Structure 1
C-alpha cells in the first residue's frame, strides 16, 4: 500500500485520536458548507455535497451537525472560500500535496510555506509533484466485511477500477466520475463503507528511515492542524521496523 494505513496506526499510537477527530469534523463540516453553497443544498442534486455528506456519515458525524453545515451555506454573510492546492517537497525530497479551503489566500499561502520551510522542505509550482500521483476515488472497508476475493468480486461488479487489501483493511479505487455510483452499489453488497473520498494515490512510494519519518510527521502534523488545510497526501512509506520506533 501507499503507507496510508500505517500512518493512521502511527497517529493512533501517538494518542491523538480525540484531537484528530475534532479537527476532522470541523474540516468535513466546512466541505459540506462550501459544497452546498457552490451548488444545490440538496445532496441528491449536488454530487459534491452528496460525497461530502457520505464522507461525514462514514466518520459518524451526527445528522444535526451535517444539517447545520448545509444550512450555514444559505446564510448571506458566509465567507467566500477558495480551493487552492499546494505542492512541494518535504525532507528527503518526499512529494507532498496539500489541499486547502480558505477565505484568506495570503494567510494560507504564508502558513503552508512556513511549515515546509521549518521542516527543511520547499514549496513547488502547481503540478510539480502531482504528476507522480493518480487522482482517484477511494472507498475503504474493514477486514470484517469479508476476505479479499469477496471484496474484489463485489468491487468489480460495482464498476471499481482496482482493489488493494492489507492487514488493516480493503481499499477500493474508482475513477473520480464513478466514485458516487460505485459507492452506492457497494453499500448494497458490502454495507456502509468506513470512508469514501477523493484521493491522490502515489504511483511510486519511497521508504524512509527513522529520522526522516520523524521530520515528516512533524511537518504533516503542522499542516493537518491548520484550519485551512483539508487534506495532506504524501508518497512515503514507513517500514515496520521504523514504525515500531515512532
Structure 2
C-alpha cells in the first residue's frame, strides 16, 4: 500500500472547476444510457450502470436527468454509441489514452487526430501506449472520509490493492475484477464514495517541464472538451508550482 501521491496528475484535473456543468451532465448521461442499453436498466442488476449512476450522483446530477438517461436507453429511437479507445503520444513523448463514446467513428477519429497534431503529438494504433498502463478500479473519497491511517485500514480490510492519500483526499485502487466488491465493503465503513470507476493507471510517470506542460495541458483540454470523449488518461508528472501557474 502506498501512502503518498501525485494522483492529481494522473487523471487530468478531475472535476475541473471550469468545465461547463451541462457538458459534464451530457457525458454522464451518455454513459448511463449506454450502460443501461447494454445490460439491465435496473442499476441493482447492472454493475456498469450502478457505477454510472453513482458517479452522476457524485456530480450532483438531478435524479430526473438520471432516470431520463435510463429511459432513453429503452426507447426504440435511442442513438447507438460505439466505444472506442484512441492512443497516442503528446508533447515530450507523453503517453495518452482517450476513451470515447461516439455515434460517428469517422468524426471522432478526425477530431482527435487533429488535436494531437495541433499540439505536436501523434495518434497511434490501438495498443501503442496502453501497455504502459494497468486497467484497474479507482475509488475516490474526500478528506471527510477520515484520516489516512483509518482509510488505509478500511481499504486493506476491503481487499484493495493500494491507497494514495494527500491533502485533497484519498484514492483507493483495486483490481478490475474486484472493484464492485471492494466498493461495497468500503461504502459500509467509509460511506458513499465520490466516484467509483475503471481507469487506465500509468505504471510510471514521466516528468514534464513547464514549457512542454503548457502544450500538453492544451491538448488535454481539447480532448476533454470534445463531446465524444469520455475520459483522458496520461502518464505525465508536472510539479505543483507549474500546475498551479497553468490553472491560474
Q: TM-score under structure 1 normalisation?
A: 0.93
Following the alignment from structure 1 to structure 2, what is the Cα–Cα distance between the partners of residues 127 and 66? Answer: 33
Q: CA deviation at 1:241?
A: 2.6
Q: How many residues align?
A: 241
User: Which residue of the partner structure matches residue 108 of structure 1?
Assistant: 108
How much is the aligned-residue C-alpha RMSD, in angstroms?
1.7
User: Which residue of the partner structure matches residue 99 of structure 1?
Assistant: 99
**Which stretch has the larger CA shift, 51-60 or 130-139?**
51-60
Q: Which runs of 5+ in 2 are unaligned?
A: none
Following the alignment from structure 1 to structure 2, what is the Cα–Cα distance between the partners of residues 75 and 168? Answer: 41
1:8 paired with 2:13, answer yes
CA contact (8 A) 1:3 1:236 kept: no
Residues 1:126 and 1:94: Cα distance change in structure 2 (over 3 Å): same
Residues 1:3 and 1:45: Cα distance change in structure 2 (over 3 Å): closer
User: Which residue of the partner structure matches residue 171 of structure 1?
Assistant: 171
Where in structure 2 are the equivalents of 1:20-35 lying within 5 Å?
A: 21-35=21-35
Q: Deviations over 1:44-85 (max 9, x none)?
A: 111111111111112221111110000000111112111000
Following the alignment from structure 2 to structure 1, what is the Cα–Cα distance between the partners of residues 172 and 223? Answer: 26
Q: Which runs of 5+ in 1 are unaligned?
A: none
Q: CA deviation at 1:5?
A: 5.5
User: Which residue of the partner structure matches residue 197 of structure 1?
Assistant: 197
User: Which residue of the partner structure matches residue 225 of structure 2?
Assistant: 225
Following the alignment from structure 2 to structure 1, what is the Cα–Cα distance between the partners of residues 187 and 176? Answer: 18
Q: CA deviation at 1:169?
A: 1.2
User: Which residue of the partner structure matches residue 129 of structure 1?
Assistant: 129
CA contact (8 A) 1:3 1:238 kept: no
1:85 paired with 2:85, answer yes
